């Protein structure tokens, strides 16, 4: 009786292992033509605002890394977000409000 139970248990483990090994590995990825814009607070604590807001080479690296972490290929555009994108208004910002504007990263292929 013990051998029969052990055999059934071993057979179950073998079947489960085989089924898990032949299952396709899926990775969440965006559709190839899909683009998405992310708004990131300028005071996020990581210090990436200087790179992204000046559109320097380090900004390109940070934006591409952000897009890759979200399942996209690379950054299409990045920089300071347009006020209409996050408030729905187009009035001129004050200098203090400009410092608080979020960063924008648009990810694509």
pLDDT digit string, tens, across residues 3-28: 776 666 666 676 666 665 666 665 55
pLDDT digit string, tens, across residues 24-77: 665 555 555 689 998 888 887 777 788 888 778 889 998 999 899 999 999 999
Apex 83 CA angle, 77 and 84, nearest 5: 90
| Residues 94-101, mean pLDDT to the nearest whole number | 61
Say if residue 97's pLDDT is above 60: no
Residue among 31, 106, 103, 33 at smallest CA distance from 76: 106
Q: Where are the domains of the chain?
A: 31-108
DSSP 8-state code for residue 106:
E
Phi and psi (nearest 5°) for 52? -75, -40
The first and second tokens of residue 35, run together, are 């683009």
pTM: 0.58
Task: Give Cβ neighbours of residue 5 (< 8 Å, ≥ 6 apart).
Answer: none
Long-range (24+ apart) CB contacts under 8 A made by 50-57 are 52/78, 52/79, 52/80, 52/103, 52/105, 53/79, 53/80, 53/103, 55/79
Beta-sheet strand order (sheet of 36-40): 36-40, 103-108, 74-80
Give the confidence band of 91 by pLDDT, cuts at 50, 70, 90: low
Query: Would you state the pLDDT for residue 40?
Result: 86
Bridge partners of 80, per DSSP, are: 103
């Amino acid at each position: 009786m013990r051998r029969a139970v052990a055999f059934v248990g071993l057979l179950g483990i073998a079947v489960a292992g085989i089924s898990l090994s032949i299952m396709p590995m899926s990775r969440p990825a965006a559709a190839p033509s899909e683009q998405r814009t992310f708004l990131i607070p300028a005071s996020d604590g990581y210090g990436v605002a200087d790179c992204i807001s000046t559109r320097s080479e380090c900004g390109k690296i940070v934006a591409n890394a952000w897009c890759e972490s979200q399942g996209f290929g690379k950054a299409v555009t990045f920089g300071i977000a347009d006020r209409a994108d996050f408030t729905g208004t187009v009035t001129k910002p004050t200098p203090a409000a400009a410092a608080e504007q979020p960063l924008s990263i648009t990810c694509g292929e």
